[in-house]
């Protein structure tokens, strides 16, 4: 089995008539995802690429089964799109949009406390269960069905790790990016817990970066709750304090959130570290082989 989405997941795209929304929806359909509808206010009744378009999410859920939503709505309206999806009862929400105002995301987080929705993102590449379903912007062709779970704050580094795994013959169960913004949905801990409970996932890769304390919290969770082989990589060893690097949440502030601190905590708990991004896959293979001996 996979976590979050699989070949039976029915998906909608909020913002399907926009350039990016339509482009990536088509890519998801080509990969095999079951995209059942799109949503764009004011364009209900239209069809794009044989997919019906509705004015609202609530209209879609009244007419068909919906398991997940993929959001490509512009940043000023994306928070409302997340809330609309959650309020309509959709359980998995993947928000690709970047640049959502922090105050808007605070409102979203407060709303989600009262709704059983899982938010992935924003500012993320999405989630893919290789060979089954893709909900997002990741390149499907580099993935291979298998048993390694990958969770990351960086889309690009996710692709790099996945490519290495596939080249080494190590397929993936599910891969996802949790997003690089200061306020986001699911955490490392949420996903690591899902991987730990997933019988198909035999090993895990966690890719972090500077800023915040998500990695430190994940390290503590791994120490106490994860029994499967795991490899960690933390980007940003040379990042200067006070300068944001790539993601809105990737900033060393007040001397905290450095890569060195995060790496040291992982190491102190006996978690294997990949020293640079070029050896993430190779390190995972060695850890798996060691766990079998």
pLDDT digits (tens, 9 = 90+) for 219-270: 999 999 999 999 999 987 655 555 555 554 444 444 557 888 899 999 999 9
Which residues pair with residue 174 across a beta bridge?
none
CATH of domain 10-120: 3.40.50.720
Buried b / exposed e along 227-249 (16+ C-beta atoms within 10 A)? ebbbbbbbbbeebeeeeebbbbb
Can you give the pLDDT at residue 76? 97
Active site residues: 247
Can you give the pLDDT at residue 2? 83
Terminal-to-terminal C-alpha distance of the chain: 26
Cα gap 233→262, rounded to integer Å:
9
Can you give the pLDDT at residue 84? 98
Domain ranges of the chain: 10-120, 138-292
Can you give the pLDDT at residue 246? 55
**CA 220 to the chain's CA centroid:** 21
Can you give the pLDDT at residue 240? 58
- Secondary structure (H, E, C), the chain: CCCCCCCCCEEEEECCCCHHHHHHHHHHHHHCCEEEEEECCCCCCCEECCEEEECCHHHHHHHCCCCEEEECCCHHHHHHHHHHHHHCCCCEEEECCCCCCHHHHHHHHHHHCCCCCEEECCCCCEEEECCCEEEECCCHHHCCEEEEEEEECCHHHHHHHHHHHHHCCCCEEEEEECCCCCCCCCCHHHHHHHHHHCCCCCEEEEEEECCCCHHHHHHHHHHHHCCCCEEEEEECCCCCCCCCCCCCCCCCECCECCHHHHHHHHHHCCCEECCCHHHHHHHHHHHHHHHHC
Which residues pair with residue 54 across a beta bridge?
39
Can you give the pLDDT at residue 124? 95
Q: The sheet that has 230-235: what strands, in order across it?
A: 133-136, 126-129, 172-177, 145-152, 203-209, 230-235, 272-273
Which residues pair with residue 69 across a beta bridge?
12, 93
Cα gap 159→177, rounded to integer Å:
10
- Say which residues have a Cβ less than 8 Å from residue 275's Cβ, sequence separation at least 6: none
Q: Are 149 and 195 in contact (CB under 8 A)?
A: yes
Q: Are 265 and 213 in contact (CB under 8 A)?
A: no
Token code pair at residue 59: 């209209």
Cα gap 289→281, rounded to integer Å:
12
Do the first three CATH levels of 10-120 and 138-292 match, i.e. the same topology? Answer: yes
**Residues of the chain falling short of pLDDT 70:** 1, 237-256
CATH architecture of structural domain 138-292: 3-Layer(aba) Sandwich (3.40)
């Amino acid at each position: 089995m996979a976590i979050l989405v699989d070949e039976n997941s029915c998906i909608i795209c909020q913002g399907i008539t926009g350039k990016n929304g339509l482009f990536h929806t088509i890519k998801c359909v080509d990969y095999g995802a079951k995209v059942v509808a799109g949503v764009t206010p004011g364009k209900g009744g239209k069809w794009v690429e044989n997919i019906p378009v509705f004015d609202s999410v609530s209209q879609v859920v009244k007419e068909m089964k919906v398991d997940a939503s993929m959001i490509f709505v512009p940043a000023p309206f994306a928070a409302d799109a997340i809330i609309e999806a959650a309020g309509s009862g959709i359980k998995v929400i993947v928000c690709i949009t970047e640049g959502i105002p922090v105050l808007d995301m605070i409102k979203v987080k407060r709303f989600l406390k009262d709704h059983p929705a899982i938010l992935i993102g924003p500012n993320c590449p999405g989630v893919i269960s290789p060979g089954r379903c893709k909900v997002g912007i990741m390149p499907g062709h580099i993935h291979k069905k298998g048993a390694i779970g990958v969770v990351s704050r960086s889309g690009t580094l996710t692709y790099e790790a996945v490519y290495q795994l596939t080249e080494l013959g190590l397929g993936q169960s599910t891969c996802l990016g949790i997003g690089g913004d200061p306020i986001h949905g699911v955490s490392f801990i949420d996903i690591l817990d899902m991987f730990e409970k997933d019988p198909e996932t035999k090993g895990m890769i966690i890719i972090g970066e500077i800023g915040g304390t998500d990695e430190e919290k994940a390290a503590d969770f791994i120490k106490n709750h994860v029994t499967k082989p795991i490899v960690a990589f933390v980007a940003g060893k040379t990042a200067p304090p006070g300068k944001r690097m790539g993601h809105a949440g990737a900033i060393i502030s007040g001397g905290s959130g450095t890569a060195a601190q995060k790496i040291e905590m992982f190491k102190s708990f006996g978690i294997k570290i990949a020293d640079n991004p070029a050896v993430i896959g190779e390190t995972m293979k060695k850890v798996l082989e060691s766990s079998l001996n």
